[in-house]
Chain A
């Protein structure tokens, strides 16, 4: 009996094994013939993937991004009031989906961890068949997911990622970033800070220990030292540390008179709150008032930090208080749907989704390489900047004024906002005021800048997948 059984199962095994070997052997050839590119949409719908942190220190930002993405899909499908579709300078999007296909979406949780983010992204690509992934609230995750999308052959439209590396040394042909970067923050902030606090300051930095923190600290140091400031030390802190008191205690003994917090999300709320509770801002050091600076701001962080944010300088990609028609249209439809003004992370995800859809319409195809070509465009350039690299896709009406998607590194160039915590806020959302709109010419850099991977950094070639 057992012999008989063994025989049958062995035959089964051999059969299955052979099938497996045959399958693996001919797989590549079959795929290249059957599909033009990864996840080519064949039905009447097309799927986008929204990969945002729903848990972890950046969860609040992630949930706001998700709301904006949901709104973007509604507007693309012709529901709601259309938002920025009405103000966008490119008029290809008609509110009938993308290339006539209705837009659907799936979501994933990045947990603000590269591993989890890649697992979520892979499942969206392999199981749900998405053609584009948008979102993310951390540069570590953005860099990891961008690499994955490049390998898989789909487009990555980065959400909130502020590290120089995303479009610097880690830039990829299939990846695009609308958000500004640490270099731009430094270039915009340093002159304002020098004007407000003088040119003779000793600063101490606490830096989130990953790609964003590193490049942010690097940029701040470069630009502040150019203004005559002097760095005491730069201390690295783990992401999601929760308690920063042990990092803040040594600050006062160091002789520094300024604390720069290269933190974001929940981490920034905790470190700023603790720094204020420790009485740092009431101290006098070197005959000057002790000051705290948060180079990258967000409305959600400002809300979370409450009173402590008053008078603190920072920079932003966009703010809902801007008065241009694009901003007003977006704030109106977001506010009507969710009852609160959108954060700048929400804005960048919304804009990225529309920009992708527009590029598909202009390309006439979902093929990633065609989309890359449409987003690079190369016909537009910003006024007032004389540089060979100043070309790409120029658009307007998305809240930041004239914006260039530069073809050389897939980075958007636009004005940067320098913000300050309001001294007397009128309501819970009115916590920040715009100090200055730094013109794009002041923050422009060349794609082979040494902070962005130098001459070695390259986009590589676009990958349409199998």
Chain B
């Protein structure tokens, strides 16, 4: 189907199912239970999962396939956001023109940065991209204030022209009248599931770009990119000029980042310069490595993992811990809270850092490698006991059943 092998089609369908069912899957705990704290099925976070998933998928096309580590992808994120907010200001709150502009502009921007940076490889390439991103950040932060509104962030004012605003057009981001922030809350017993327009909009786009990335991974073009990672010199000796391929990969991943940035502004009509800061560039590197660079699903899982930590773990403060351990005797309680509190709330980055270290040391292939190892444990058992399993089917099953790790 769609030019994919049966196995890949199954994989894509599985990912599609997971993405569409996210509002239900991320809301596992009943509202009245104390574990409701860990529910993540609210629109803002789900949108972030999808958007940063797109960002990481795009980054993985460059880093995962070619091994070129860009430390400046946040610049494209920012370009995407600013273009969308500018179309709000000039045209209307319809997100579509903005998203197209975001992809085009970030593509052009990536073409320029890539053309210069790709003259070098390895650490020099990383430093060049980092330098460009920091430069863009500083430009957005102070020099280009009329264009970016500096630290305050670019936003839409009532006095903006908005030439395409009709009489009845909504004054919030929408797709031909379908308002992004609208949601439907469905109470089922003690659970409340929130189906949000914006989330499904980003989810459909995420599935589509995931499909494109799948095609790239399986294409001859993808093969050349992998070859560049393995031995670039050898490719050059074989008479293949690798730079156009590299530049294409760089531009594609820049466009993915621009799309992600545009979607951020499509969900929330504001663009801030800090989106371009080096920490944002570093974050997508972390996501990719944590999930598993070079795997299709890994970066998405990594993105979900980090955003979950950032939004859920950071909310567990001492009051919550007191609630949890309220039943224990006081010395034990204070001891437990004393131990745990540095790792939650403000300390969520500490926990994430520790996890990151553990993953890099023990699972260099990221979450995906962990999932594979667990999968292979389960696979061997029936084959030893049962005697005659079809050798191919379990591999396929493992490939898909690895996914629900999120």
Contacts and interface: CB of A to CB of B under 8 A. Distances in A.
Q: Among A107, A113, A123, A152, find the residue whose CB has the most chain B CB atoms closer than 10 A.
A: A123
B172 A151 contact: yes
Contacts of B268: 118, 122, 148
Interface string A103-147: 000111100011110110011001100000000000110011001
Interface in B253-279: 268-270, 272, 274-275
A294 interface: no
A445 interface: no
Interface in B374-397: 390, 393, 396
A31 B182 contact: yes
B14 interface: yes
Interface in B3-34: 6-7, 9-10, 13-14, 16-17, 20-21
B45 interface: yes
B141 interface: yes
A236 B42 contact: no
B228 interface: no
A114 B272 contact: yes
Interface in A22-42: 23-24, 26-28, 30-31, 34
A5 interface: yes
Interface residues of A, number: 57
Contacts of B317: 107
Contact of B272 (A27, A54, A109, A113): A113
A140 B151 contact: yes
Interface stretch (B103-111, B123-131, B153-161): B153-161
Contact of A16 (B21, B39, B179, B272): B21
A250 interface: no
A242 interface: no
A24 B181 contact: no
B311 to A, nearest CB: 6
A115 B274 contact: yes
A10 to B, nearest CB: 6
A143 B157 CA distance: 11
Contact of B181 (A26, A30, A152): A152
Could you tell me the dominant secondary structure of chain A's interface residues? helix
B247 interface: no
A123 B17 contact: no
B158 to A, nearest CB: 6
A80 interface: no
Nearest to A140: B152
B272 A2 contact: no
B341 interface: no
A126 B43 contact: yes
Contact of A23 (B45, B141, B184, B393): B184
A146 to B, nearest CB: 10
B162 interface: no
B35 to A, nearest CB: 14
Given A23-B184, A123-B45, A2 B6 contact: yes
A55 interface: yes
Contacts of B242: none
B158 A458 contact: yes
Contacts of A30: 184
B344 to A, nearest CB: 13
A109 B314 contact: yes
B197 interface: yes
A24 B178 contact: yes
A255 interface: no
Nearest to A119: B44
Contacts of B145: 209
B151 A9 contact: no
A54 B275 CA distance: 20
A364 to B, nearest CB: 26
Contacts of A54: 346
A9 B150 CA distance: 48
A9 B141 contact: no
A139 B149 CA distance: 13
A36 to B, nearest CB: 14
A13 B17 contact: yes
A20 B142 contact: no
Contact of A9 (B13, B184, B269): B13
Contact of B9 (A6, A17, A143, A144): A6
A115 B13 contact: no
A210 interface: yes
A341 B367 CA distance: 50
A109 B178 CA distance: 31
B195 A113 contact: no
Interface in B104-143: 141-142
Contacts of B13: 6, 9-10, 12-13
Contacts of B151: 114, 140, 209-211, 238-239
A147 B156 CA distance: 9
Given A12-B17, A122-B44, A23 B195 contact: yes
A147 B270 contact: yes
A147 B158 CA distance: 11
Interface of A: 1-3, 5-6, 9-10, 12-13, 16-17, 19-20, 23-24, 26-28, 30-31, 34, 54-55, 106-109, 113-116, 118-119, 122-123, 126-127, 139-140, 143-144, 147-148, 151-152, 169-170, 209-211, 236, 238-239, 456, 458, 460, 466
25 contacts: A2-B6, A2-B393, A3-B6, A19-B20, A20-B20, A23-B186, A24-B195, A27-B182, A31-B182, A109-B346, A114-B152, A114-B272, A116-B274, A118-B270, A123-B315, A126-B43, A127-B45, A140-B151, A140-B153, A144-B152, A144-B153, A147-B270, A209-B151, A210-B150, A238-B151
Given A2-B7, A27-B184, 10 more contacts: A13-B20, A23-B195, A114-B151, A119-B311, A122-B44, A148-B270, A151-B181, A209-B141, A209-B151, A239-B151
Interface of B: 1, 6-7, 9-10, 13-14, 16-17, 20-21, 39, 42-45, 48, 141-142, 145, 150-153, 155, 157-159, 172, 178-179, 181-186, 194-197, 200, 203, 268-270, 272, 274-275, 311, 314-315, 317, 346, 390, 393, 396
